[in-house]
């Protein structure tokens, strides 16, 4: 328990440090909370003075003056409360704005392994819902709790000054209120933790289902997935209802305790008026004091849970921010252009750190040459291009570009000089032009059109309703596969890379479109070092070098003629098998 409290304090300290750039705003909100406590609670005191010192003595002039002061106090209270609510909210939103950017930037820099192992819905929950909970720490947590606590002390101070006897009677029920508040806080904390866990699970499920809706409908699995969603939704609803149930119990209990305190107040106050030990003014205003005392104590439990939920969310966010699953970028070498010489020297790699996917892989590509990599599924073809871009770190061996170890290059600069066209084409929600330039302001429309003409994509883009300003929906669902692929080719060319990687870029293209894509590929690889991962061997026969992979090992290398000439070669077996299939079709 002690360890948990220490952890909460550590997380709270981290959250408060997020407000460091807005220190002035934080201090200003704190000062407003300090001023608001006495001003909000001075009104009953003024009313008691009106009753005892002026109304019973017929002092109308004094009553008018005090009533004027009372109005000024109300006006000041309204102004200060407005400023407090606005600026505490502004502080929270400012912190959240910066935190969202910080989380997004950090997530963007993590290894691909993190995304392989973490559901997208979970990452979305951390970036949106959990970050928003940090806002509540400032708007409904720390500052408002501080204001409420100071308000409680201010009320008790006024109560004691007005009548210590009535104050003691009212405080008799306070332990019961604190006990009820503590039990409520603990129960709701568990309930809200379950709510956040369930909503994270729901977000992850929905993200996965919506992304894979085509597969779901393809196999008529809607009913099965609907049942699974109903189960997740039921658990989420149950978690919310459990939290609501505790509120439904707590607030009536507080009302009961408040009614008990009021009964004791009336009983004792009536006796005090009869024996003149309590003034009429005190008796009149003490129900107001009682409400001012019980209301913040009652709300304090809710705010404690808001704070607790903020701490839970903060802990999850800091887990992401403190995740160091990054490729170490210790390189300092920057080159405006690369010659394009590639060399793998006895490279070993495993995604899990143990089971090697690449085993002692060695090959070399001279500047301007084209290397084609072929092999069965799972042979390690895509893995080669992933480690070449430093998406993953190799276990053993060395990768060199222009004779220099890959690790000596700055990762960002290296990736700027290497372009990839993937089999799984990904287009963003935006125009064709935006998808080509990726919102890089240094690339002009003229440059895009020129690149499109070079690879033969310009006529096909021009045929779209708005040409380069045609609005693409998410993942390019309103374009054909060929159109999507052409756009990614233009994207690759317009960045003018020194090394080009094509990962089965024609595998999903129909035969009619293949000729167009093949022409685009030839223009892309012209005069630059290229690696082509191919499924169709007909597309790589003119490659300078062909490498055959099997179960992570290099089986053979050579040009098409050399490899086909080997009677027992792995490439020849692949070639004959593929063309026998084509002939049969």
Q: Which residues contact 32 (CB under 8 A, 6 or more apart)?
A: 80, 83, 84, 87
Model confidence pLDDT, tens digit, residues 538-559: 778 788 899 998 888 999 998 8
Crossing angle of helices 280-321 and 142-162, in 10° steps, is 160
Model confidence pLDDT, tens digit, residues 318-328: 888 888 777 77
For residue 4, pLDDT beyond 70: no
Model confidence pLDDT, tens digit, residues 237-264: 988 888 888 888 888 888 888 888 888 8
- Element spanning 548, H or E: strand 545-550
CB-neighbour burial class of residue 118 (10 A; exposed 0-12, middle 13-18, buried 19+): middle
Residue 176's Cα: distance from chain center in Å? 41
**Quick count: other Cβ atoms within 10 Å of Cβ 183?**
15
Pairing of strands 358-365, 370-375: unpaired
Which of 226, 221, 223 lies closest to 206, judged by CA?
Answer: 226
Which of 346, 387, 390 lies closest to 364, judged by CA?
Answer: 346
For residue 213, pLDDT beyond 90: no
CB-neighbour burial class of residue 442 (10 A; exposed 0-12, middle 13-18, buried 19+): exposed
Which of 266, 320, 334 lies closest to 122, judged by CA?
Answer: 320
Write phi, then psi, for 229 (nearest 5 degrees). Answer: -65, -40
Residues of the chain with CATH 3.40.50.300: 333-417+498-560, 428-496
State how far the Cα of 133 lies from the Cα of 145, in Å rounded to an integer. Answer: 16
**Quick count: other Cβ atoms within 10 Å of Cβ 33?**
22
| pLDDT at residue 584 in the model | 43
State how far the Cα of 64 lies from the Cα of 396, in Å rounded to an integer. Answer: 89
Q: Which residues contact 142 (CB under 8 A, 6 or more apart)?
A: 12, 16, 307
Which one is the CATH code of 333-417+498-560: 3.40.50.2300, 3.40.50.300, 3.40.920.10, 3.40.190.10?
3.40.50.300
| pLDDT at residue 58 in the model | 74
| pLDDT at residue 347 in the model | 92
Model confidence pLDDT, tens digit, residues 570-582: 888 888 877 655 4
For residue 52, pLDDT beyond 60: yes
Share of the chain above pLDDT 90, in %: 7
**Quick count: other Cβ atoms within 10 Å of Cβ 575?**
18
| pLDDT at residue 582 in the model | 45
**Quick count: other Cβ atoms within 10 Å of Cβ 9?**
11
Q: How big is the chain by its Cα radius of gyration, in Å?
A: 35
Q: Are 345 and 405 in contact (CB under 8 A)?
A: no
Model confidence pLDDT, tens digit, residues 260-289: 888 887 887 777 777 767 777 777 788 888
Beta bridge partners of 365: 342
Mean pLDDT of 111-122: 74
For residue 313, pLDDT beyond 90: no
State how far the Cα of 363 lies from the Cα of 87, in Å rounded to an integer. Answer: 62
Q: Is the dihedral of CA 493, 494, 496, 497 positive or negative?
A: negative
Residues of the chain with CATH 1.20.1560.10: 2-321
Pairing of strands 545-550, 529-533: unpaired
State how far the Cα of 270 lies from the Cα of 259, in Å rounded to an integer. Answer: 16
State how far the Cα of 124 lies from the Cα of 103, in Å rounded to an integer. Answer: 11
| pLDDT at residue 2 in the model | 52
Which of 151, 155, 137 lies closest to 93, judged by CA?
Answer: 137
Share of the chain above pLDDT 70, in %: 94
CATH topology assigned to domain 428-496: Rossmann fold (3.40.50)
Q: How confident is the model at residue 512 (pLDDT cuts 50, 70, 90)?
A: low
Reading the block at residue 469, the tokens are: 């300003």
- Which DSSP string corresponds to 80-131? HHHHHHHHHHHHHHHHHHHHHHHHHHHHHTS-HHHHHHS-HHHHHHIIIIIH
Q: Are 32 and 83 in contact (CB under 8 A)?
A: yes
Residue 404's Cα: distance from chain center in Å? 37
Reading the block at residue 496, the tokens are: 């003018």
Q: Which CATH class is domain 2-321?
A: mainly alpha
CB-neighbour burial class of residue 401 (10 A; exposed 0-12, middle 13-18, buried 19+): buried
Alpha helices (runs of H) in 163-279, residue ranges in sequence order: 164-171, 174-211, 213-218, 222-274
| pLDDT at residue 510 in the model | 55
State how far the Cα of 409 lies from the Cα of 333, in Å rounded to an integer. Answer: 5
Write phi, then psi, for 501 (nearest 5 degrees). Answer: -125, 125
Chain-wide mean pLDDT for the chain? 82
Mean pLDDT of 175-198: 80
**Mean pLDDT lowest for which of 89-98, 165-174, 510-519?**
510-519
CA 299, 302, 305, 306: dihedral to nearest 10 degrees? -90
Rounded to two decimals, what is the model's pTM?
Answer: 0.68
Q: Which residues contact 294 (CB under 8 A, 6 or more apart)?
A: 177, 254, 257, 258, 261
278: helix, strand or coil:
coil
Q: Which residues contact 335 (CB under 8 A, 6 or more apart)?
A: 402, 409, 413, 417
| pLDDT at residue 217 in the model | 77
State how far the Cα of 483 lies from the Cα of 457, in Å rounded to an integer. Answer: 8
- Element spanning 398, H or E: strand 396-401
| pLDDT at residue 397 in the model | 92
User: For residue 21, what are the CA distances in angstroms to 85, 98, 398?
Assistant: 20, 10, 44
Model confidence pLDDT, tens digit, residues 401-420: 999 998 888 888 888 888 88
Dmax (CA) for the chain in angstroms is: 121
């Amino acid at each position: 328990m002690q360890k948990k409290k220490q952890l909460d304090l550590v997380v709270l300290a981290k959250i408060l440090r997020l407000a460091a750039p807005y220190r002035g705003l934080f201090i200003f909100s704190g000062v407003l909370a300090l001023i608001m406590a006495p001003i909000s609670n001075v009104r009953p005191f003024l009313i008691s003075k009106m009753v005892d010192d002026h109304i019973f003595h017929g002092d109308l002039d004094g009553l008018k003056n005090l009533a004027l002061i009372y109005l000024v106090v109300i006006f000041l209270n309204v102004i200060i409360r407005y400023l407090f609510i606005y600026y505490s909210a502004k502080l929270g939103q400012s912190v959240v704005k910066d935190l969202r950017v910080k989380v997004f930037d950090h997530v963007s820099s993590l290894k691909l392994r993190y995304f392989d192992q973490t559901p997208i819905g979970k990452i979305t929950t951390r970036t949106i819902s959990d970050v928003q909970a940090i806002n509540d720490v400032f708007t409904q947590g720390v500052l408002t709790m501080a204001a409420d606590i100071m308000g409680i002390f201010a009320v008790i101070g006024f109560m004691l000054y007005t009548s210590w006897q009535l104050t003691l009677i009212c405080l008799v029920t306070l332990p019961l209120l604190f006990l009820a508040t503590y039990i409520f806080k603990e129960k709701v904390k568990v309930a809200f933790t379950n709510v956040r866990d369930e909503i994270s699970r729901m977000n992850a499920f929905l993200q996965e289902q919506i992304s894979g809706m085509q597969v779901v409908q393809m196999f008529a699995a809607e009913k099965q997935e609907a049942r699974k969603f109903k189960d997740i939704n039921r658990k989420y609803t149950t978690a919310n209802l459990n939290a609501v149930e505790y509120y439904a119990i707590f607030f009536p209990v507080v009302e009961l305790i408040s009614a008990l305190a009021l009964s004791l107040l009336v009983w004792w106050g009536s006796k005090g008026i009869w024996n003149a030990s309590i003034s009429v003014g005190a008796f009149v205003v003490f129900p107001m004091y009682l409400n001012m005392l019980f209301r913040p104590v009652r709300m304090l439990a809710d705010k404690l849970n808001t704070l607790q939920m903020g701490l839970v969310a903060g802990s999850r966010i800091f887990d992401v921010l403190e995740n160091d699953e990054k490729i170490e970028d210790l390189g300092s070498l920057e080159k405006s252009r690369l010659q394009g010489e590639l060399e793998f020297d006895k490279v070993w790699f495993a995604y899990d750190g143990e089971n090697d996917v690449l085993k002692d892989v060695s090959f070399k590509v001279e500047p301007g040459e084209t290397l084609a990599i072929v092999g069965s599924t799972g042979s390690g073809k895509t893995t080669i291009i992933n480690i070449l871009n430093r998406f993953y770190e190799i276990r053993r061996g060395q990768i060199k570009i222009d004779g220099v170890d890959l690790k000596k290059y700055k990762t960002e600069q290296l990736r700027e000089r290497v372009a990839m066209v993937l089999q799984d084409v990904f287009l963003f929600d935006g125009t064709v032009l935006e998808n080509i330039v990726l919102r890089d302001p240094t690339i002009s429309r003229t440059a895009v059109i020129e690149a499109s003409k070079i690879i033969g994509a310009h006529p096909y883009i021009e045929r779209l309703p708005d040409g380069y300003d045609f609005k693409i929906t998410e993942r390019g669902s309103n374009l054909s596969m060929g159109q999507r692929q052409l756009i990614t080719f233009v994207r690759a060319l317009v960045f003018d890379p020194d090394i080009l990687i094509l990962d089965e870029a024609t595998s999903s293209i129909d035969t009619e479109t293949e000729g167009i894509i093949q022409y685009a590929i030839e223009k892309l690889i012209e005069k630059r070092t290229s690696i082509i991962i191919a499924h169709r061997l007909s597309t790589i026969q003119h490659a300078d070098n062909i490498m055959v992979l099997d179960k992570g090992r290099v089986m053979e290398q050579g040009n098409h003629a050399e490899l086909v000439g080997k009677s027992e070669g792995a490439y020849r077996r692949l070639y004959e098998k593929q063309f026998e299939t084509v002939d049969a079709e």
